[in-house]
Amino acid sequence: MIHFSNVTKFYERQAAIKNITFSVEKGEMIFMTGPSGAGKSTLLKIIYLSEKPDEGSVTIAEWDLSKLKESSIPFLRRNIGVVFQDFRLLDNRNVFDNVAIALRIRGMLDSEIQDWVMEILKMVNLRHKADSFPQALSGGEQQRVVIARAIVGEPTILLADEPTGNLDPDTAAGITRLFKEINARGTTVVIATHNRELYRNTGRRVFRIDSGNIVGEEIG
Amino acid sequence: MYLLYSFRLALQSLWREKWINLLSVLTIAAGLFMITLTLFVVYNIDLATKRLPARFSVMLYLNDGLSEQETGSIIAQLKKNNAVEQARYIAKDKALEELKGVLKNADYILEGIDENPLPASIEIKLKKESVNIASVKKFAAEIKKIKSIAEVEYGEQFLNSIHSIKGMAKAGSLSLIIIMSAGVIFVCYSTIKIAFYRRKEEIETFKLLGATRGFIRAPFVIEGSVLGMFGGIASMAAALAFYHVLFYKVTATIPILKILVFPFETFPALPIVGLLLGIGGAVIALGRIRFS
């Protein structure tokens, strides 16, 4: 589903990731861990095409990114749900509209959107907050809105960048359960985190990243 | 599919910045009103020059002592010319009579002149299409070759002046229309550019969620077209007010202005022109949207 081959990315002549090679199978759930600035976010950005690798090749769901036309990028992105580290919620829209926007972009009709969004909000336990605005939500609730927006379009890949960054342990455990449920439905999940609790005893592959290199792989 | 949503986004954005947008609409209206006024001036100059052929004539002054047969032969020869619509013979006596008619109370000027000093002449009306400098010059040169014609007069300077006034009016109005249109496009461009920067974060999120260029552009293009269209409607209202003031108030004191004609047929075009210029401004403002 995701294949990196000798990928390097520079920022102002400094390599953020160096010569990285790894693969993620369809339906797999993996973790990337390491200190801040290790290159985890850069890896995710390359997967959702926010950054281009300077060297090496990347294949996402049979799409060779080096051969991808710019006009095709939106269509590939619709297959990738992203839980952004900075949430990227739209402050002037309520929870419902923040989630629905992912479907409106896909050209879905309002009548179809209504039921589907409410279904997803129920799944993340936010149905009662559909009319609230992001500023009125707690960090955990905002995180769940972002997850709802990422999965509402039924992507084949879900990426999460530090999804439990500022959350208390109970809320973090709830978010982890949610990712497992999403993965159980067949979605490939990639989580970048420095929170060990998130991957401990999961039985999933964990890639240890440091200074832009994969320095180890273990089972969590 | 997403057009309805784009309309909603555009209307929300227009309402959110309603005062700036109102200012833009008024500026666009002023630009389009100037274009309408320019067209009004050009239209009337054009009408005036179109009326010219009916009043324009070429005068041929004949040598004295021509027989009736010789005069008839000249007229027949003239009538064969493709440029000639009508040729009217004016005998010496008739010319004097007409001159007295023109002088009216000043006919004492002619007192003491025993002999009729005026020559017999032929007044030629040319066909509409031949009333232009080149054709008239060519015609004058041809008929000068006819024996017994003493002089040909056709107001060369007058024709030249009309021609240059028409040319200047056309060039001037075209420049003004281009400048004003560019101004309207620039107003739309600036308004949309500001709206685009205001929503830059939101647009970045849309891109990351898989929005196409069409989805991102549509609300801004709609905003530009709405601004342009309302500018067009406002300029139409201003043109109607101008018409009312000019033809009902000003003509009461300056009646000669009644000969002016207002090109009403341009009115419905104003909102459409505004809309198209608005779309143009928006498209330029958005430029090329990049995804990576």
- At B80-104, the pLDDT tens digits run 888 888 888 898 888 888 887 877 7
Residue A49: CB atoms within 10 Å: 23
CB pairs under 8 A between A and B: 56
Q: Which of A218, A220, A219, A216 is nearest to A20 (CA)?
A: A216
Closest in B205, B210, B292 to A52, CB measured: B292
d(CA A34, CA B175): 65
Please choose, from the candidates B14, B40, B24, the residue with its C-alpha nearest in 3D space to the C-alpha of residue B185. B24
Residue B206: pLDDT above 90? yes
pLDDT bin (cut points 50, 70, 90) of residue A36 is: confident
> Which residues on B lie below 8 Å from A109 (Cβ)?
1
Task: Please name each of the domains of chain B with its CATH number.
Answer: 3-51+161-286 (no CATH), 57-153 (3.30.70.3040)
Structure-token pair, residue A65: 């990114």
Most confident of A177-186, B96-105, B159-168, B208-217: B208-217
State residue B138's pLDDT score. 86
Instruction: State which H helix or E strand residue A218 sits in.
Output: strand A213-219
| Chain B, window 208-267: residues with a beta carbon less than 8 angstroms from a chain A beta carbon | 208-213, 215
Q: In the structure, what pLDDT confidence band is assigned to residue B1 with cuts at 50, 70 and 90?
A: low
Rounded average pLDDT over A89-106: 95
Chain A residues with CB inside 8 Å of B209's CB?
77-78, 101-102, 105, 149
B253-271 residues labelled b (16+ CB within 10 A) or e (exposed): eeeeeeebebbeebbebbb
- pLDDT, average across residues B202-206: 94
Is the ipTM beyond the 0.85 threshold? yes
Average pLDDT over residues A174-193: 90
Helix axes A95-105, A139-151, angle to 10 degrees: 20
Average pLDDT over residues B162-166: 82
Q: Which residue of B has its CA nearest to A105?
A: B211
In this complex, the residue of B4, B5, B292 whose CB is nearest that of residue A73 is B292
Q: Looking at chain B from residue 189 to 208, which residues have their Cβ under 8 Å from any Cβ of chain A? A: 201-202, 204-208
